Structure 1
Amino acid sequence: MTADTSARYREFKMPDVGEGLTEAEILKWYVQPGDTVVDGQVVCEVETAKAAVELPIPYDGVVHALRFGEGTTVDVGASIITVDVAPGSGSPAPAAAEPVAEPVAQQVAPEAEAAEPKGRQPVLVGYGVSEASTKRRPRRGAAVPEQGAAAAAIQAEMNGVASAPPAGTPPAGTLSAGTLSRPLAKPPVRKLAKDLGVDLATITPTGPDGIITREDVHAATAPATAPAVAEAPISAVAAPTVTAPAGRETRIPVKGVRKATAAAMVGSAFTAPHVTEFVTVDVTRTMKLVDELKSDKDMAGVRVNPLLLIAKALLVAIKRNPEVNATWDEAAQEIVLKHYVNLGIAAATPRGLLVPNIKDAHDQTLPQLAQSLGELVATAREGKTTPAAMRGGTVTITNVGVFGVDTGTPILNPGESAILAVGAIKLQPWVHKGKVKPRQVTTLALSFDHRLVDGALGSMVLADVAAVLEQPKRLITWA
């Protein structure tokens, strides 16, 4: 019986979803004990020191136990969920290890429980189910087969996900005796709404069967976020509505991305000797070029903004001064010159500062770079940036101007030798052709590692970026 039991119950362990990570926090369980799962189905979302990641289960079967509750930090290699891969075989269940934090079970009304039919129920809104446990789940976005209405509501509510309410029940967002009713939305959409501070109950759904879509959530925030998006593509995600706290202090645990960022910034600040230089530049011609490119047929379908040309200007400056694109190898006592540019773009998210990078940005045309920037920003705002997207950066841009800030002294991303801060672009009086005229002006700040970038090299890089933005035709003549 022991052999049968060990073969029947499989333990899914917390994987190392990054490189060398030691722990991860369980953000959300999408399943509960008794749910049927299939190979490849996402069962939970975890947050590492680098990003939030969805974990798919590698087995077909029935969930036997969740070993840890939401909000628990778990070591890599620890079992987080047990799956019965041979339900109904009659083998005794293994003794479940005491979980660190029991998952909170949802209370189900007795009359609703009695109405629950036998058989497998959908685990996620928008994911179909089948009677055979060997059939893989449909792709995301596939239609959901009809289920018993009360059972679907019970199952979805226990998973923290809404499902279609039975006929005759009140609209989404209301509760009555014996009725479980919530706005219908997939977990990623629900998380997006939470990040943007949107109450799902206030949204009119446009998806099939009354499901709220990503577009619905974004539409609900459009009036508040449109000005920031118009100015620049990188900005903090809209903050949730905050009510006055009850006490005099609020303590926030430092973990996940914020903990990793804090450690990295302290290490960078006290390891690399930082030098920051500044230049104020007239970018009027660059802003005119931005307007012209927006109507260019070769740029159709991509977002054109000042950051795109600033990124291109930095790439040109690096090409002219390749020694700045390097890193300091302390162990080997060597300077490592990089013959490629993985361009990092700092992005503020609800989980903290993320710096995904565009791989081999130096090889991309302007339309390609625009597309890469758009995809990078959209992914970061949705909280879907992967650890791989943040590895291997060589130089970074941080756009503090989107907050109305003129300039700053940015700290180097660990392993990089330079970071460019871009201030707000404002109409200011400027001497142009011997006369004082209103011109579009911004301030650039370049921080660099003084161990491998001396003052002359740092100054040349910053001066080249400024020169390109002042006369964007240099994108052609210098490239």
Structure 2
Amino acid sequence: MKVELPFLADGVEGGDVVQVLVKEGDHVAEGQSLIELETEKATVPVPAPSGGTVMKLLVRQGDHVKVGQALVDLDGGGSPPKTAEQEQPAAASTPQQIAQPATSKAPAPAKPAEQKPVERKPAEQKPAEQKTAEQKPPEEPVEQKDATSSQATAEPALHSQPNSDGAQAPQPSVAPASVKREAVQSASSGAAIPAPPSVRRLARELGVDLTQVKGSEAGGRITAEDVKAHVRERSRGAAAPAGHAGLPGKVFSTMYGTERRETLPSLRRKIASNMTQAWTNIPHVHQFQDADITDLMQLHKRYAPQFKKKGATLTLSSLFLKASVHALKLYPQLNATLDLTNGEVIYKDYYNIGVAVETPAGLIVPVVHHVDQKDLLQISLELADLAERTRKREVKLEELRGATFTVSNMGGLGAGPFTPIIYPPQVGILGVGKARMTPVYRDGQLVPRHILRLCVAYDHRLVDGADGARFTNEIVKVLEDFQGMFLGL
């Protein structure tokens, strides 16, 4: 049976094969990892659905595979394959019978050599035209001489190498000169290369020699996808050449100075694709609002030591998650997804909040599930553990699924307000920057207050501007009076 790539997570259509963990002929057990796949969210192993023998590998390292694509051809037989020592007694009943095939096959390679004159030495094969004339009709050597004299002498010389025993091995005949003339014409003018002008232009832009590209359409016609596949294959082959592992990239000299080109990492490529799709397909509205979090900062300072005694770190992110869930319950359209295919809105009665985490490879969004059912201590413990394992790329695939809303907090980086991009199929995201001490006019005088500017992005196809503004104001209200939320005020 063919083992296919299973469903991974919402919005994840596939990934890149980081490592193939088995080889053809291996016997695998049920649940044993076959490949390691890198998606835009995590690096995950793909297990075997049942035990059996790997008959054929259908993917290799560096390939991009999609959900439903076959990975390996697995023979569902339960027992592992027999070893060579176990199979030998079945082939022959005595040691002499086992050795007999080896002795009988030994003279076989010498038969072709015995048909040639024994007295002719390799050095005497100098006039290669004589050998060519014996193997081909007379007119073919004549055409070859007409084409080019240098090729007529150099090419046969490559076909007259003796084997390891010193005997002259049979060699293939020289290609007709008409074929060589066509190859020369293709390489020089490109006229004989079956490719449309658009593909030729693409090849020039990518620096691809079309004579090296194998066409996939009828008659060897080259498509744009063939050119791109050739570039990917060339990049994989040149990514880490022998003796040059760890090089930062290819360095080029320009009229302005040097440039370095590096292969786009798999995760970054997926992030770029997803963000482009989200920004292109979702009509974003960004709602800004200021929140006075002076009292919240004092609350955080008061209870942080008690959280620390219990092994947790009370962060503002934990408070943002609680505030978001409170507002989502009042405005359920921001905790929903839009199904345009069936003309439906899918409202979620659960509150799973994704939290953007910076990693060396790129941004990954693990999910804190059922935030509404957890207190601040549980959220703080889980959030710290998730963030740590995400940075190490040890987060589980289940911990990346099911988010209904996302919080992106860049305050720890000292960043100001920013406009976040919605992560589909969600319809909203909260972006938080750094709070700043700001003079605020209160009770007839200016007083210093911690002011935090929030930005809520929402999908305008489902969320109207008025509801988006009310939702943002509700988050501000909770942050300014966090204790009032628990009192139901």
Alignment of 1:81-160 (within 5 A): 85-88=81-84, 90-91=86-87
State whether structure 2 residue 71 is matched by structure 1 residue 78: yes
SS of the equivalent of 2:70 reads coil
Q: 1:22 to 1:392 in 2, by over 3 A?
A: closer
1:392 is the counterpart of 2:382: no
- Counterpart check, 1:16 vs 2:6: yes
Cα contact 2:268–2:361 (8 A) shared by 1: yes
Select which of 430, 443, 447 maps to 1:420: 430
Specify the alignment match of 2:448 in structure 1.
Answer: 438
Flag the 1:298–1:381 CA change in 2: closer, same or farther, 3 A: closer
After superposition, what is the alpha-carbon deviation per residue over 1:37-58, rounded to whole angstroms, capped at 9, x for unaligned?
Answer: 8765556532135421134567
Q: Which residue matches 2:335?
A: 325
* Number of residue pairs the alignment of both structures matches: 321
TM value normalised by structure 2: 0.56
Q: 2:30–2:48: 8 Å Cα contact kept in structure 1?
A: yes
C-alpha distance in structure 2 between counterparts of 1:448 and 1:14, whole Å: 36
Please give the alpha-carbon distance, in whole angstroms, between the structure 2 residues aligned to 1:322 and 1:249.
50
Q: In the alignment, what sits opposite 1:52? A: 43
The residue that corresponds to 1:411 in the other structure is 421
Distance 1:319 1:391, change over 3 A: same
The DSSP-based 3-state class of the residue aligned with 2:5 is: coil
Aligned to 2:188: none
Moved more, 384-393 or 453-462: 384-393
Contact 2:249 2:261 in 1 (8 A): no
* Structure 1 Cα separation of the partners of residues 482 and 370 of structure 2: 22
Pairwise CA distance, 1:284: 1.6
Alignment of 1:4-403 (within 5 A): 13=3, 15-16=5-6, 18=8, 23-28=14-19, 42=33, 44-56=35-47, 70-73=61-64, 76-79=69-72, 85-88=81-84, 90-91=86-87, 246-247=251-252, 248-254=258-264, 256-296=266-306, 300-403=310-413
Structure-1 separation of matches of 2:352 and 2:415? 26
1:403 alignment partner AA: L
Aligned letter for 2:70? G
SS in 2 for 1:373: helix
Measure the CA separation in 2 of the matches of 1:326 and 1:406. Answer: 28
By how many angstroms is 1:411 displaced?
Answer: 1.4
Cα deviation code 1:332-355 (max 9, x no counterpart): 223332222111112233343322
- How far apart, CA to CA, are the structure 1 residues paired with 2:247 and 2:322? 38
Give the Cα separation in 1 of the matches to 2:454 and 2:363: 20
Cα distance in 1, alignment partners of residues 452 and 481 from structure 2: 14
1:459 is aligned with what amino acid?
Answer: A
Q: 1:257 to 1:14 in 2, by over 3 A?
A: farther
Structure 1 residue runs of 5 or longer lacking an equivalent are 1-10, 93-240
Cα shift readout 1:394-448 (whole Å, capped 9, x = no counterpart)? 1111112233221111111111121100011233333354433333222100111
Q: What is the identity, as a one-letter code, of the residue corresponding to 1:86?
A: K
CA contact (8 A) 1:324 1:457 kept: no
Structure 1 or 2, whichever has the larger Rg, is 2
Q: Name the SS for the 1:45 alignment partner.
A: strand
Mapped to 2, the partners of 1:304 and 1:42 lie a distance apart of: 38
Q: Secondary structure at the match of 1:447?
A: strand
CA gap of 1:351–1:65, structure 2 versus 1, over 3 A, is farther
Counterpart residue type for residue 310 of structure 1: F
Map of 2:472 onto structure 1: 462
Q: Which deviates the most, 441-450 or 331-340?
A: 331-340
CA distances 1:213-257 after superposition (whole Å, capped 9, x unpaired): xxxxxxxxxxxxxxxxxxxxxxxxxxxx99797434444555744
Q: Percent identity?
A: 29
Indicate if the aligned counterparts of 1:427 and 1:440 stay in contact, CA closer than 8 A: yes
Residues 472, 389 of structure 1: CA spacing in aligned structure 2 closer, same or farther, 3 A cutoff?
same
* 2:405–2:426 contact (8 Å) kept in structure 1: yes
Distance across 2 between alignment mates of 1:50 and 1:297: 30
Other structure's SS at 2:482 match: coil
Structure 1 residues 60 and 415: alpha-carbon distance in aligned structure 2, compared to 1, 3 A threshold? closer
**Secondary structure at the counterpart of residue 296 of structure 1:** helix
CA distance in 1: counterparts of 2:347 and 2:55, whole angstroms: 52
Cα distance in 2 for residues equivalent to 1:322 and 1:299: 36
CA distance in 1, matches of 2:431, 2:411: 8
1:474 is displaced (CA, Å) by 2.0
358 and 23 in structure 1: CA distance in 2 versus 1, 3 angstrom threshold: closer
Q: Paired residue for 1:476?
A: 486
RMSD: 3.8
Structure having the larger proportion of residues in helix: 2
Report the more deviating stretch, 430-439 or 403-412.
430-439
Instruction: Provide the C-alpha distance between the structure 2 equivalents of 1:67 and 1:334, rounded to a whole number of angstroms.
Output: 38
**1:246–1:87 Cα change, 3 Å:** same
Q: Note if contact 2:408-2:429 (Cα within 8 Å) is conserved in structure 1.
A: yes
Matched residue type, 1:52: T
Unpaired runs of at least 5, structure 2: 89-245, 253-257
Note if contact 1:425-1:441 (Cα within 8 Å) is conserved in structure 2: yes
Measured in 2, the distance between the counterparts of 1:17 and 1:335 equals: 23
CA distance in 1, matches of 2:70, 2:29: 22
In 2, the alpha carbon distance for the partners of 1:359 and 1:406 equals 28
User: Contact (CA 8 Å) 1:64, 1:84: kept in 2 or not?
Assistant: no
